[in-house]
A and B are shown apart, each in its own frame.
Chain A
Amino acid sequence: MIVTLHLVALALYALATALTLAPFMGFRSAPRALTIALPCAGAAVHVVAISQLTLIGLGPALSMLALCLVLLQLASERLLRGSAVSFFAGPLATGLVGLAILSGLTPGAEVAAGRNTWFILHVALSVLGLALLALAFIAAALYLLQFRELKARRFGQIFQLFPPLERLDQLNRFALVAGFPALTLGVLLALGYGAQFSGGLHVAKAQIVWGIFTWVVLGWAVWVRVVRHWAGRRAALASIAGFSAVLLVYVALKLTQPGAERFL
């Protein structure tokens, strides 16, 4: 049932993504209502699927991340009129759901009572933080593409369909500034959880070292935005550097310490 629901969500996300990207392939733009309704329906099915999962392991975490990303995409669509976010968020969320299905999605064992709040907060904040950083990355990428088109005086599909630079910059700033503390808090909750319920930290040195490295890079990206008042292209590049560090470190750690039983 969980896999079936994920497959339905995957199909809806994929269809929404195809419709969103249609203008870039020479087809007519789909009605806006449809490109919003499809991911909404997908997210609804996805919520039902996730409610039946215990959020332990790689598959559930990826699924949760995909859901957060879709919800943020819909929010940015609604609040910031940043419809182009779906150009990146759509394929990314679809890919993450696909990976989640491939990684294995089965109902896990219940977390012991009393530990539940810590655990849910840790997972929710970490995944939300990652999704926000992904959104910051997407906004930054859209910014750089639109910036390049505007500087090069090209007035094609990107010029027409992408949001204004200023709006993308605002979206990037919001997502980065909200995502970094959320992820930091999520990690701190994991440390607290480990200390309180597992008798200490059970992580490899590599995870600590690379985790700190990622945190420093992300922290730098936030610092230059907030303290140094970077904006525009430089801020977008810093944001991309931050999210790239997260991705690279994650992939490197998964390659050196494989295993689907845990997200990290």
Chain B
Amino acid sequence: MGIKVVGVNHRTAPLDVRERLAHGAHEVPGALARVMAAGASGGVLLSTCNRTEFYLVADDEPALEAVWSLLGERLPTGPSPEAGAREYGYIARDRDAVRHLYRVSSGLDSMILGESQIQGQVREAWEASRAQAGPVLHRLFQTALHVGSRVRTETSLGMGTASAASAGVAVAGKIFGDLAGRSALILGAGDMAELAATCLSDQGVHITLVANRTQERARAIAERLGGKAVSLEEAWPHFATTDIALCSTAAPHAVVTWERVGAVIGARRGKPLCILDLAVPRDVDPAIAQLENVFLYDVDDLQTVAAQATARRRDEIPAAERIVEEETDLFWAWYGGLGVVPTIKELRARMDDVRAAELERALRQLDHLSPDDRAQIEQFSQALLNKLLHQPTIALKQAAEEGRGYGLLQAVRRLFGMEPPA
């Protein structure tokens, strides 16, 4: 068994595919249970708007097949759904898988280079999968958060504004110029909605309404930003007057539809309306963008804008990659060393069993020997075994210290016919 990561991300799959493959928090235990049933001994599911990745401690087959099948079921049905998922996906194994997670948590693999939101998402994924993660993945995710923090403190990779929320502010600025005095309504009351609303408020935008399915959370944000909390149904008429609509609900389908706001927006008489759809799956029916003077941007659009603004962060990539590599070495040394002691013990026990069996067989044929001679021979066999196992033991311990233990361990276990380590 080894560490694997299987999944799709913003580089390999378009938004509509990522939307289908995204897992809500309530779906994580079920999805992991299926993969565990297929032979994985540990699993964590990281699902954000930019990636859906299964981190597993498993053999290649059939756990990986279970992942492809699970993802494939979410794509439009075809002759072979898992082939469809595989088309958009990737697999990284062992050291590459560790490096991959470290790059993810430090923001190096994000669409917006260095964005910090992923750190929280990695933590949430780990916490949601705690029951199924197992000791290796626990350690991996714990260290991944440490790597993310190190990269952000020791480099300038996370400096400046590079989030989708700040990109939304930039795009709105290209429509309205000065944002001070503009009005915005917020749909949704999650972390992303709150972050984006705060970004707008910082620019002088007046947050007039916060609409959400449950009003308690909406009320908290509305009170903080000076707006009013309403239900979603009460928000639709306000599309006639607001300058900016920020949508970030957790709804599984579009909530801002042509039927709900088409006529209302039509009454604006050409006044521009900027709609920032930060939700995945998207909250806004793309057909709304066909309306004159409606400027609709989804997560992909905003992340494209933010990515341009972060060009200077690229200078920090080498320093961040160095930290990732350093930490990958440390983890790999730990992981390699993890199986060394039990393997040495098992190897010695196995060899000792062989020695004892062969000694007993030989002594049966040497009845004439005195008890002293028998003791001498037993001592000799023991010394011979110790001499023979000395060098392999030293080599295994040394390889573990140098972070090369895992490969050597696998070789030893295979050579001496031992079960693979968990």
Contact A151 B295, beta carbon cutoff 8 Å? yes
Chain B interface extent, by class:
10 to 19
Q: Mark A140-157, 1 if CB is under 8 A from B, else 0.
A: 000000100011010100
Contact B304 A164, beta carbon cutoff 8 Å? no
Contact A233 B292, beta carbon cutoff 8 Å? yes
A75 to B12, CA, bound (A): 48
Contacts of A186 in B (CB 8 A): none
Contact B175 A160, beta carbon cutoff 8 Å? no
A153 to B176, CA, bound (A): 16
Question: Given contacts A151-B289, A153-B297, A233-B292, are A164 and B270 in contact (CB under 8 A)?
Answer: no
Contact A164 B175, beta carbon cutoff 8 Å? yes
Contacts of B297 in A (CB 8 A): 153
Q: Mark B282-317, 1 if CB is under 8 A from A, else 0.
A: 000000010011010100010011001000000000
Contact A231 B270, beta carbon cutoff 8 Å? yes
Name A156's closest neighbour in chain B (CB-CB).
B308
For the complex, is A232 an interface residue (Cβ under 8 Å from B)? yes
A217 to B289, CA, bound (A): 32
Contacts of B269 in A (CB 8 A): 229
Contact B293 A155, beta carbon cutoff 8 Å? no
Contacts of A155 in B (CB 8 A): 301, 304-305, 308
Contacts of B76 in A (CB 8 A): none
A149 to B72, CA, bound (A): 36
Contact A234 B176, beta carbon cutoff 8 Å? no
Contact A166 B270, beta carbon cutoff 8 Å? no
For the complex, is A133 an interface residue (Cβ under 8 Å from B)? no
Contact B173 A164, beta carbon cutoff 8 Å? yes
For the complex, is B174 an interface residue (Cβ under 8 Å from A)? yes
Contact A160 B308, beta carbon cutoff 8 Å? yes
Chain A interface extent, by class:
10 to 19
Contact B293 A233, beta carbon cutoff 8 Å? yes
Q: 8 Å CB contacts to A: which residues of B252-269?
A: 269
A150, A166, A230, A231: the one within 8 Å of B177 (CB)? A166
Question: Given contacts A232-B272, A234-B270, are A164 and B289 in contact (CB under 8 A)?
Answer: no
B387 CB to nearest chain A CB (Å): 70
Name A149's closest neighbour in chain B (CB-CB).
B174
Contact B177 A164, beta carbon cutoff 8 Å? yes
Contact A150 B270, beta carbon cutoff 8 Å? no
For the complex, is A165 an interface residue (Cβ under 8 Å from B)? yes
Contacts of B175 in A (CB 8 A): 150, 164-166
Contact A164 B292, beta carbon cutoff 8 Å? no
A37 to B101, CA, bound (A): 51
A151 CB to nearest chain B CB (Å): 7
Contacts of A164 in B (CB 8 A): 173-177
A244 CB to nearest chain B CB (Å): 22
A153 to B167, CA, bound (A): 13
Contacts of A163 in B (CB 8 A): 177
Name A170's closest neighbour in chain B (CB-CB).
B177
Q: 8 Å CB contacts to A: which residues of B134-182?
A: 171, 173-177
Interface centre among A146, A155, A160 (most CB of B within 10 A): A155
Name B298's closest neighbour in chain A (CB-CB).
A153
**What are 24 A-to-B residue pairs whose CB atoms are below 8 Å?**
A146-B174, A150-B174, A150-B175, A150-B295, A151-B289, A151-B295, A153-B297, A155-B301, A155-B304, A155-B305, A159-B174, A160-B308, A163-B177, A164-B174, A164-B175, A164-B176, A164-B177, A165-B175, A165-B272, A166-B176, A166-B177, A166-B272, A229-B269, A232-B293
Known: A155-B308, A231-B271. 8 other contacts (CB 8 A): A151-B289, A151-B295, A164-B177, A165-B175, A231-B270, A232-B270, A232-B272, A233-B293
